[in-house]
Amino acid sequence: MLKPIKILSIICVFCFCALAQQQKQENVYEPVKILSRAGANYTATAKKDGIEGNVKLRVTFLPDGKIGDVIDITEKDKKKLSKYGLTTNAIEAARKIRFVLAKRNGKAIAITKIIVYTFTLY
């Protein structure tokens, strides 16, 4: 026959394992998956003047399947890229991204990612 202390120990171990398993299941995270990303168009003036660079955007993917805020966080040549309309074109392209929702525990959530559009002349 098992002593009460041993039974209590077995119950505690069982409860701890069950709790750990429950917590593990509660923190299931699925990242946003980008299905397609439209290219950002060069402006005629930017091509003519040989302007190149990267437009860096912070894009919010909403749980309703839409694109939320798109914020320019470009560090290098920000004014020049904006002046030539490349930032505007990158933002327009980012708003057309098609994606699969990010999820936590099976529920759609908003997520923010950094997206970079590179403008290079060949």
Give per-residue pLDDT as tens, 34-63: 999 999 999 999 999 999 999 999 999 999
Joined together, the tokens standing for residue 81 give: 């890229």
Q: Three-class SS of residue 41? A: coil
Q: How far is CA 87 from CA 6, 46, 57, 97, 110, in A?
A: 68, 11, 9, 16, 24
State mean pLDDT over 102-113: 95
Rounded Cα gap, residues 48 and 1, in angstroms: 90
For the chain, the average pLDDT equals 87
Assign a CATH topology to domain 28-119: TolA/TonB C-terminal domain (3.30.2420)
Asked if the model's pLDDT at residue 85 lies above 70, the reply is yes
State mean pLDDT over 86-92: 97
Asked if the model's pLDDT at residue 21 lies above 90, the reply is no
Choose the weakest-confidence range: 5-14, 19-28, 109-118.
5-14
Confidence at 22, pLDDT banded by 50, 70, 90? low
Residue 73 per-residue DSSP state: -
